[in-house]
Amino acid sequence: MNWILWRQAYKIFVLGAAALLFAVAAWGQGSTGTITGTVTDPSGGVVAGATVTATNTGTGTEKKTVTDNSGSYSFVDLPPGMYTITSEAVGFRKTTLSAQRLIVASNLRLDVALEVGAVTESVTVDAASPQVNAEDAQLGRSITDIPSLPLLSTNGGRNALSLVGIQPGVTTNGGAQSPGAAVGPFEVNGQRSQANNFVLDGADANDLAINIPDAVDVISPNALGEFRVVTGPMKAEYGRNSGAVVESTIKSGSNSFHGQATEILRNKVLNANNFFQNAARNPRPPFSLNDFDANLGGPMIKNKTFFFASYLGFRRVFGVTNSGTVFTDQERAAILANGVPAAKAIVNITPRAADGGDTLFSAPKDSLNRDQGVLKIDHRFSNRNNFSVSYFTERSTENTPFAFQGPTIPGFGELDFVTYHNVSLQDTHTVSPNLVNQAVAAFHRRDQPGVFPANHTSPASLGFTGIIPDDPAAVGPPYISINSITIGNTYQGPQARRDNTWQYADSISWIRGRHTMKFGVDYRAFEQNQIFDFINNGYLGVSGDATNGGVIQMIPGLSGDPNAAAINDFAQGYVFGFYDQSNANKQGLRDKFFSAYAQDDFKIARNFTMNIGLRYDYGAPIIEIRDRVNTFRAGQQSAVFPTAPVGLVFPGDKGLSRSTYSRDRNNFGPRFGFAWDPTGKGKLSIRSGFGLFYNVPESELALQFLGSAPYGTQVVAFGVTDMTHPYQTSSNPLAQNPFPFKVAKPGDKFDFTSVAPVGITFMDPNFATPYAFQYDFQVQYQIGRNWLGDAAYVGSQGRKLENRRDINPGLYTPTATVVDDVNRGVYNINNPQDAAYGGAVFGGITAQLTDATSSYNSLQLSLEKRISHGLTLTNAYTWAHCIDTGSGLRVNSNPFSAKYDRGHCDTDVRHRYVGSVVYELPFFREQHGFLGHLLGGFNVATVVLLQSGLPFDILDGGDRSLTGAGDDRPDYIGGKVKFVDPRSNAFGRLNSYYDGTGGGTRDAAANPYFHRVGSGGSAAKGAGRYGNLGRNVFHGPGILNTDLSVSKSTRITERQSLVFRAEAFNFFNHTQFFNPGNSGGVDSINSPTFGRVTLARDPRLVQLSLHYMF
């Protein structure tokens, strides 16, 4: 290799990067693609100086360039679409390649072989785009067959992004049984679900609060042109997160009018019944869904201005089958005859079971309405300048009968409203054939007054005159828990959000000799305005302590009632615990993100390309506009609030910034990769890449400050003797009602002891930017004309990942017993990162850290057949193993050692195979005559998923460690755990998955594998010790699922057709069980249902649709 050439390339690379750092704000992920190729003569020699023209067949736009000395050409920053390539050179015939599709964010290679002849002669070649990627080391796939594959209109609508699950390395969160029916986040190559980055027409489409897709996951699939998923080591232009990059584009108009109208229908008649519904002999619940949309695209001014417009309407009503505990007729009568007025009022708003018993079966209706609009306009000022603007908006309203973490009986539901606005403006200017500039400006808004109560019966009207809701607009019955009876509005809300994201962008692509370079910077500004009215109407916990302790006498009418003690306490107004909170602190969070990158695709030889890049990412620490946050610094006394307990400090105190944590400015991410075609024939490629990728922390971290003293307050009262004035207790009968709460100002002498224990969740002062190393080695081989095989090793290492740890756990002393909690709630002096502190003001002190790690290794195989003879096939298999010290923002089980939680990732799926088939039946394809129209146009598609199970954790169900965390795991006694099919009714128990539940008798001989820590002897033997069972040791049931689609297309005219489609998801109605315990992957030996599976995924669901296209 010529060293001078390397040195010149380096100078160009560095100087270009430096120049761009002072340019306009730039964007790294535009919605464009690249076409490259080589022009050769009949002998295979390169042709320099040939004129090459790329023509967009839809809009007529032409781009021209000239081949260099190596015969190569490149067109960068082209809008997605169909393109022909024409090459002209003296002494050769003018050659045109037939139209090929350019996908967003892809590199399409089209080589041209010229024939000797006069330039006035022309020839058209029916070219097939190559399948082997010999241009870069990136892993990924373009999803272009959205209309062909089964795609379920779920309870929330169709989500085209769910189809990312058909490629290797992807695991759906929660283990969705079907790629076409998946909802919610997904993980890629061992990265967390919050690590993905979503882009819509070049604009940010992420929900900053929890880093999941926003807007792009609800847009009509018929409005999307295509999308591309990049899963492997990405080039330097890609950033923000370490997971996948999902780039989507809205369709554009062309010189001819095209449109579509669709109606999708689902109802209960077409669905099978759930496994557990059948077992209980319950009928299918009511269900009705209509998903309809229409779109139109075409020219406004031919060859100049084009439009595309779309509308989607969605209406869904279904019955939510549920069972909940209610007052029996005996209990109702006793309370109404002898209870206090407030207790009687609660009984009167509580539904009654039909048989007068304690279990109410119900199927109230849940409704969701969505209306969505999309508009895109493209304008060509000249062949050198193109401009586009796209706008997306949606308004959705859901009325659900069972609120999030609310009662399991109807009457206390919630309303959720969400409105989206997304605007993207893009300008692409070709300065010269070798220099292209792309500018982007975008705005995104999410407006969501969510978790809003549907029941507005005020506490005062029910007799609870001492409870004053913090938010008068969200008043409702207080949340009351009487053993297993729950009544009232959820304590989780309302939670109102308005998020704004601004982007300003520009990028420059520069072709110089063998170098295709790209430089840019990226700027985004985020706003999140939120109020979270946690426990807005109070939380009353009734347990029967006053009755059992002899404080009060039993009222008449409860004789023989197993729940008599708790009912008696409630009837007379006695409450074990009362909780209330003020969140007058309405947060206004602000954040900024900046990055810069330089990238060079250096074609060292015709068959060898090197990808080199460097990216810098900087995310400013999140601030609150009024500085209403707090943090913890052991031993420091606050000057902002002098009466604060030692350790509780605020912005403005010595050494504290507005964000309370330090800036991380060291986020340089090198990228390196190569692509080599050893044969030079485009049939084989060997590729490898490496990169360092950083993640934008989600703003949910800062939301944990809501309600913290002195900007909010919380009340915890035990031994309440009058539930209508629950702040007064037997030990403190003169306690004052702190509500409505007045937010303190700096300098105020706020009484922190009045709100003790003070709980804190704070950002670690050394909170860093999470990052991951990614690497791969891949071999691709084209088999014949239409088959492509791919084998890859893909790995990643996550470092400084987000985590939480309680730094104020209870301390164990040798004299402590299982029931001894004297030493809990004292600041932990054993934690070496902090100084000693003692006192009783603090409760839990939770640090939000970046000390978690992850490791992922996988073998990824795929075999694909490009469409020929009407048949397309894809096969993807992944063997993977993922290990981490915590998946997501969870509190460490052992606050003294993060290694205690090192185990399989929550999404550790060892084996996953996904295959898809799309086949156009071979008879009467032209549909001539009556018989042709009747029998022609049939298409069959299927997606098959085989997947091993997700891991689950087993907990002790107690607190033998005496830390107060309650996440202890049991001791594993030994022996091979026997797993069975939950349908087998093994061990004499319905839905068992493994042996040894003991029916909740966790220390009995019936549980041969897991015992509580210290069981079988003195209880003190277990005090202060953690169980020896690791985290996520066992894996749950796997998935075997088949989706099937059959469609019939009938041609009306040359340009019009009508398509009827029938789709069945889980076609064979195979029961797909969730893990034992709860759907979150946790099973407790303290539970009567330990070892049993209680939830199953969807049964067979059938969807019918009609599509008119022209």
Average the pLDDT over 236-253 and give the result.
92
Instruction: Mark whether 220 and 164 lie in a shared domain.
Output: yes
Place of tokens 């290797």: 168
Distance from C-alpha of 998 to C-alpha of 1088, rounded to nearest angstrom: 8
Instruction: Mark whether 1059 and 977 lie in a shared domain.
Output: yes
Q: Are strands 224-230 and 140-143 parallel, antiparallel or unpaired?
A: antiparallel
Q: State which H helix or E strand residue 387 sits in.
A: strand 385-400
Structure tokens at 639: 């000057």
Structure tokens at 463: 């007799």
DSSP 984: G
Contact 289, 269 (CB under 8 A): no
Contact 268, 289 (CB under 8 A): no
Residue 1052 CA: distances (Å) to CA of 261, 292, 592, 933, 1057? 15, 21, 54, 9, 5
pTM, two decimal places: 0.86
CA atoms within 13 A on the CB side of 339: 27
Helical axes 341-348 vs 329-338, angle rounded to 10°:
150
> Does 935 score more than 90 pLDDT?
no
Helical axes 564-571 vs 329-338, angle rounded to 10°:
30
How confident is the model at residue 26, as a pLDDT?
Answer: 35
Least confident of 10-14, 99-103, 447-451, 889-893: 10-14
497 is a domain residue: no
Q: How confident is the model at residue 276 (pLDDT cuts 50, 70, 90)?
A: confident
Place of tokens 């997971």: 243
Give the residue from 209, 228, 254 where a domain finishes: 254
Backbone angles phi, psi at 182, to 5 degrees: -70, 145
Q: How confident is the model at residue 7 (pLDDT cuts 50, 70, 90)?
A: very low
Contact 506, 23 (CB under 8 A): yes
Q: How confident is the model at residue 964 (pLDDT cuts 50, 70, 90)?
A: low
Structure tokens at 27: 């964007």
Give the residue from 219, 254, 289 where a domain finishes: 254
Structure tokens at 701: 């971290």
CATH number at residue 37: 2.60.40.1120
- Type of residue numbered 1109: M
Distance from C-alpha of 853 to C-alpha of 772, rounded to nearest angstrom: 9
Mean pLDDT over all residues of the chain? 85
> Does 250 score more than 80 pLDDT?
yes
93 is a domain residue: yes
How confident is the model at residue 821, as a pLDDT?
Answer: 39
Residue 708 CA: distances (Å) to CA of 581, 583, 761, 791? 9, 8, 8, 52
Percent of the chain with pLDDT over 70: 88
DSSP letters, 736-777, are PP--S-----TT----GGGG-SEEEEEE-TT----EEEEEEE
How confident is the model at residue 734, as a pLDDT?
Answer: 74
Structure tokens at 673: 């990769």
348 is a domain residue: no
User: pLDDT tens digit string along 98-128?
Assistant: 889 888 878 888 999 998 877 667 777 776 6
Residues 6 or more apart whose CB falls under 8 angstroms from that of 928 comprise none
Q: Which of 154-168, 792-806, 1024-1038, 1083-1097 has the highest mean pLDDT?
A: 792-806
Instruction: Mark whether 939 and 1002 lie in a shared domain.
Output: yes
Instruction: Mark whether 147 and 245 lie in a shared domain.
Output: yes
Q: How confident is the model at residue 1003 (pLDDT cuts 50, 70, 90)?
A: very low
Place of tokens 């402590």: 816
Contact 545, 473 (CB under 8 A): no
Which residue did the predictor score with more confidence, 1019 or 306? 306
User: pLDDT tens digit string along 135-181?
Assistant: 899 998 888 777 788 888 887 888 888 888 888 999 886 656 777 77
Q: How many domains does the chain contain in total?
A: 3
Backbone angles phi, psi at 161, to 5 degrees: -65, -15
Distance from C-alpha of 1095 to C-alpha of 325, rounded to nearest angstrom: 19
> Does 812 score more than 70 pLDDT?
no
How confident is the model at residue 908, as a pLDDT?
Answer: 94
Burial-class residue 538 by CB neighbours within 10 Å (0-12, 13-18, 19+).
buried
CB neighbourhood size of 301 (10 A): 9
242 is a domain residue: yes
Instruction: Mark whether 48 and 197 lie in a shared domain.
Output: no
> Does 435 score more than 80 pLDDT?
yes
CATH number at residue 150: 2.170.130.10
How confident is the model at residue 1015, as a pLDDT?
Answer: 58
CB neighbourhood size of 637 (10 A): 16
How confident is the model at residue 474, as a pLDDT?
Answer: 85
> Does 636 score more than 80 pLDDT?
yes
1102 is a domain residue: yes
Distance from C-alpha of 210 to C-alpha of 761, rounded to nearest angstrom: 17
Q: How distant is the alpha carbon of residue 216 from its chain centre?
A: 12
Structure tokens at 1057: 């057709």
Contact 266, 220 (CB under 8 A): no
Instruction: Mark whether 199 and 100 lie in a shared domain.
Output: no
Q: How distant is the alpha carbon of residue 500 from its chain centre?
A: 19
Which residue did the predictor score with more confidence, 699 or 16? 699
For 111, the 3-state DSSP assignment is coil
Instruction: Mark whether 224 and 98 lie in a shared domain.
Output: no
* CA terminus-to-terminus distance, the chain: 55
Q: How confident is the model at residue 967 (pLDDT cuts 50, 70, 90)?
A: confident
- Type of residue numbered 808: N
Backbone angles phi, psi at 1067, to 5 degrees: -55, -40
Burial-class residue 70 by CB neighbours within 10 Å (0-12, 13-18, 19+).
middle
- Of 163, 145, 227, 82, the C-alpha closest to 865 is 145
Which residue did the predictor score with more confidence, 1027 or 992? 1027
User: pLDDT tens digit string along 13-28?
Assistant: 343 444 333 333 333 4
Q: How distant is the alpha carbon of residue 42 from its chain centre?
A: 52
Q: Where are the alpha helices (DSSP H) in 495-594?
A: 545-548, 564-571
Average the pLDDT over 889-901 and give the result.
82
Instruction: Mark whether 162 and 236 lie in a shared domain.
Output: yes
> Does 830 score more than 70 pLDDT?
no
DSSP 1068: T
Instruction: Mark whether 1071 and 942 lie in a shared domain.
Output: yes
Contact 574, 542 (CB under 8 A): yes
Give the residue from 196, 225, 254 where a domain finishes: 254
Contact 143, 227 (CB under 8 A): yes
For 341, the 3-state DSSP assignment is helix
Which residue did the predictor score with more confidence, 180 or 249? 249
How confident is the model at residue 1014, as a pLDDT?
Answer: 61
Least confident of 136-145, 257-266, 452-461, 772-781: 136-145
For 378, the 3-state DSSP assignment is strand
Distance from C-alpha of 289 to C-alpha of 159, rounded to nearest angstrom: 15
Average the pLDDT over 595-621 and give the result.
95
Instruction: Mark whether 210 and 105 lie in a shared domain.
Output: no
User: pLDDT tens digit string along 298-330?
Assistant: 999 999 999 999 999 999 998 887 888 899 999
97 is a domain residue: yes
780 is a domain residue: no
Average the pLDDT over 276-286 and give the result.
82
> Does 11 score more than 80 pLDDT?
no
Residue 1104 CA: distances (Å) to CA of 151, 266, 270, 333, 942? 11, 7, 9, 50, 15
Contact 197, 214 (CB under 8 A): no
Instruction: Mark whether 113 and 143 lie in a shared domain.
Output: no
Instruction: Mark whether 117 and 146 lie in a shared domain.
Output: no
1103 is a domain residue: yes
Backbone angles phi, psi at 248, to 5 degrees: -120, 150
Range of 46's domain?
33-125
> Does 8 score more than 50 pLDDT?
no
DSSP letters, 617-664, are EEEPPPEETT----EE-TTPPPSSSTTSPTTEE-BTBTT--SSSS---
Least confident of 50-59, 435-444, 749-758, 865-874: 749-758
